[in-house]
Amino acid sequence: MTVKIADIRHLNDLENYEGEWDTLIQKCPGSVHTQSYAWINAFLRYSLHPEEKWICLLAYKYGELVAVYPLLINRRIGFRGFYFQTFKTPYERFHTIRVDGLMLPGHESILELLVNYLRRSFKAFPLIHIPGITSFSCSMLYFKNDPRNLDFYKKPDGAENFITLPESHQVYLSNLKSIFKKKMHRRFRKLENRAEISVITRDIRRTNEENLEIFKQIENSGWKGDRKTSIKSRPGNSELYLSATNKFYEKGWIRWSFLEANGETIAARLFTRINSLTVSWKTAYREDHSVFAPSKILFYKCIEDFYACGEMGEINFMNVKSWFKDWNVNERSLYKITVFPRSFFLSPLIKLYLRIKYK
């Protein structure tokens, strides 16, 4: 197999690969926005400390981009003549999921070439930490296909809820509990009796920047602002989200949705959609309207809109919460893995060390 690897370590150089990266992600079923050029570029630009270093490896087969593997360069330990070099995918539990590499289906064996490249380039034994990924993520798939030259350590790393939309909206509604549907309709009627209601899905009236600003204000007004977990309260996150969502907006990957009462926005949801996967990424609501559950009302209407627009497939919530159960969700396990070259002597020692570390 003729594979060439491009080694990128500067943002200006990374910009040259945006188009090819976008083409690749649309060929990879199950990929999400946090694996896109738009997000990785924004993350590296706004979420890293000045002293943090990174590397992005891009693999080409016969001139076609078939793999992208962005990594943060972490600790280097050892002694003269032998070093361990650790790496981590650009992951932050607050806003990212599945930040594995991207590999064209059927090309998972390229992972061996990338790990070997890191070993030669850094003159050290590489260990790549990859948290929060699914069993069908490309790095996991490599180890399901009779791996020979790489080894790994795996442990559970939480889970994610998701909905697989059936063939029709009526079928989906029929699977929801009657008491939940009655409660939703009752809340909506009560809200309508108090105010003039407007539901805006996939908003295009305003610019992306305007929609993001509205969302940030609502999110920061409630408990997320108090706990300093809102976009607005975390340093660098406003720039991160603006940069990424502007790109998503250009590519048609973003869905802004709002619920308004007497012209005031009382709930907002941010979705992304790549291929047939929709991610319910961020949600916010005015707490003085919480008795009406405005965020749930909006989500109920958004599902109706997905059917109307033919956007079937999966809706992923990124995490697990007890209140997601109302929507007839499924649960999928996530894993944290560490990938390293297979070694008769080192592999057992590394696994023992990681087992103790993550105990």
The enclosing domain of 139 has a CATH number of 3.40.630.30
Query: Which residue has tokens 């080192």?
Result: 346
pLDDT by 10s per residue, the chain, length 359? 689 999 999 999 999 999 999 999 999 999 999 999 999 999 999 999 889 999 999 999 999 999 999 999 999 999 888 999 999 999 877 777 778 999 999 999 999 999 999 999 999 999 999 999 999 999 999 999 878 899 999 999 999 999 999 999 999 999 999 999 999 999 999 999 999 999 999 877 899 999 999 999 999 998 888 888 899 988 889 999 999 999 999 999 999 999 999 999 999 999 999 999 999 999 999 999 999 999 999 999 999 999 999 999 999 999 999 989 999 999 999 999 999 999 999 999 999 999 998 87
Residue-wise over 153-180: b if at least 16 C-beta within 10 A, else e?
bbeebeebbbbebeeeeeebeeeeeeee
- Looking at the fold, whether 142 and 9 belong to one and the same domain comes out as yes
- Both 18 and 56 in one domain: the answer is yes
Considering the domain architecture, whether residues 25 and 141 belong to the same structural domain is answered as yes
Cα(208)–Cα(249) distance, rounded to whole angstroms?
Answer: 7
327 falls within a domain: no
Residues 193 and 260 in one domain: yes
In a domain, 112, yes or no: yes
308 lies in the same domain as 180: yes
Domain that holds residue 36: 3-159+333-357
Is 320 part of any domain? Answer: no
Residue environment code for 312-350, b if the CB has 16+ CB neighbours within 10 A, otherwise e = eebbbbbebeeebebbbbeeeebbbbbbbbeeeeebeeb
Task: Tell whether 179 and 73 lie within a shared domain.
Answer: no
Report the C-alpha gap between 316 and 134 in whole angstroms.
12
Contact 181, 328 (CB under 8 A): no
Domains: count for the chain? 2
CA nearest to 330, candidates 315, 343, 342, 341: 315
> E strands along 170-244, which residues?
197-200
Q: Is residue 326 part of a domain?
A: no
How many angstroms separate the CA atoms of 271 and 280, rounded? 5
Which three-class secondary structure state does DSSP give residue 189?
helix
Residue 109 belongs to a domain = yes
11 lies in a domain?
Answer: yes
Whether residue 328 lies inside any domain: the answer is: no
